Amino acid sequence: MAFARPALRRTPELRFWKLLGSGHGFGPQPDFSRYALLTTWPSLEAARGFHALSPVMRRFRRRADETWTLYMCPIRAHGLWSGVNPFIPQDVETDTDGPLAILTRATIRWRALLRFWSHAHATERALDNAPGLLFAIGIGEVPIVRQATFSLWRDAAAAHAYAYRAIAHAEAIRRTRAEGWYAEELFARFVPISAEGSWDGVELLTAVTSRAGTLHRLNLSGV
């Protein structure tokens, strides 16, 4: 993954990108078999062209047993990632009655690391039992300090129910705000557009809808 950085910097139309590792659940233990590439594009055609033709993606696929790619359109985003918000919602019609994807990320202050990770397992257990959850993974730029979560939900109602009714999650959010755990954070919601490939042999998103606007792709590769 690290060797892809020079090529990604030279890729035309690529507006924002992050190479990400993953964890076993939402804990600090890394999973060295799964990696993610998050990219932001001006159009669906540009995103799909990169996925199909880029030498970076060809190298990833040669080394991967399995890949899953999700194309998404942002409907809500606030906060910063590396000093910018790369997921500005576009003025396009979106249908939120179907699946909803949520990305959260944060740079954790050193003084808050112990408190943050002490809540991670309780939050993960609550998420495992959340009705309507289709998929979730912990990802990050830097182990322990720069962390993110990505989840895919049956619909917005299921995501809202978890966010506001899960006691462990609500308590973690309360303490985050009260104690200032994060030096930088971002929260974004997306409407999934289409997906390619599989995760553990399962096609996670079966409904494929054509939409316009700025598109974001999360490519997760298992090796």
Contact residues for 188 (Cβ-Cβ < 8 A; gap 6+): 74, 76, 77, 78, 87, 102, 103, 104
Tokens read off for 39: 């990219």
Tell me, what's the pLDDT at 88? 85
Between residues 178 and 78, the one the model is more confident about? 78
Q: For residue range 40-68, list pLDDT tens digits in order.
A: 999 999 999 999 999 999 999 999 999 99
Mean pLDDT computed over every residue of the chain: 83
Report how far residue 13's alpha carbon sits from residue 217's, in angstroms, rounded to the nearest whole number: 13
- Is 60 exceeded by the pLDDT of residue 205? yes
What is the CB neighbour count within 10 angstroms for residue 22? 21
What is the CB neighbour count within 10 angstroms for residue 10? 8
Under CATH, which number does the domain 2-222 receive? 3.30.70.100
- Is 80 exceeded by the pLDDT of residue 154? yes
- Is 90 exceeded by the pLDDT of residue 72? yes
Tell me, what's the pLDDT at 223? 37
Decide: 150 and 218 in contact? Cβ < 8 Å: yes
Tell me, what's the pLDDT at 212? 41
Q: For residue range 122-137, list pLDDT tens digits in order.
A: 666 667 778 888 888 8
- What is the value of pTM for the model shown? 0.85
